[in-house]
Amino acid sequence: MTADVSHDVVAITGASGRIGRRIVPLLDRPGRTLRLVDTDLPDRVQDGPWGEVSDRVELRRASIEDERGIRSVLDGADAVVHLAAQSSERPWEEILRANIDGTQKVLEAARLGGATRVFLASSVHAVGFADVAEVASTPVLVPRPDTFYGVSKAAVEALGSVYADRYGLSIVSARICAYGDGEPNLRHGIAHWLSAGDAARLVEAALALDDGRHHIVWGVSANSPGVCNLSAGRAIGFEPQDDAYAIVRARGLEPEAPPTSGPIGGTFTEPEHPLGERW
């Protein structure tokens, strides 16, 4: 089933972050109000990092750690795109407060405020110890986190599951790998690259759902090596269009081949990235 998106209020937490600032203008369209939620917002939308957006875009300052504040700004939202989080490894207390407790506050506020659809930003680090061969062959991997950050994203997915099953919310947890603001890097994470355009397409697929279920999908573009099994995303209507390898080759360069064995988390599974220490 698909939702009626003829007139929606879509709240976006972490709207000033790396992903939010690029996808906001791509999600801005007639019949939809975008409610941008963050702790660091300008006084006017025109002064923000989102470029040219319409007057349908609202600004609301709030922290996901503030239960009363987040409930206030999510009240009346039809859908929530939850991007706000600690975005890398941190001491456990910081990870717990922002990524786990904060996500629970967002989901509870979404439910109480009337939202029926939620997009949750998960991460490849929720399955960082999975072997690359499993990643290519398995539509949805069981959690094998590589860090406290990865543990928090596995918890985000679990919270999405319980809120879908208990309250009938349609929720998508996207395991984002190597999100890129612009063109893909020649080497780092190229096989797992997610373009801004495909990030917006994935959010749109989540906003169109109305099945009361939880879905775990890859947040990865249609990169030609096919190192991630994208079938779960395609099952909910996510059809990525960008290919990092084609973009790099069009520049006359040959991209690095992806690894054929070892954990997908790469160096984050090794001692040089100890638990609880900032990256």
CA-atom Rg of the chain in angstroms? 18
CB 146 within 8 A of CB 128: yes
14: left (phi over 0), alpha (psi -120 to 50) or beta: left
* H or E element, residue 172: strand 170-176
252: left (phi over 0), alpha (psi -120 to 50) or beta: left
Token digits of residue 228: 């991630």
Instruction: Please identify every residue annotated as catalytic.
Output: 149
Which residues, 6 or more positions from 124, have their beta carbon under 8 angstroms from its beta carbon?
175, 176, 177, 192, 264, 265
Residue in 36, 33, 25, 80 with CA at minimum distance from that of residue 60: 36
* H or E element, residue 134: helix 132-137
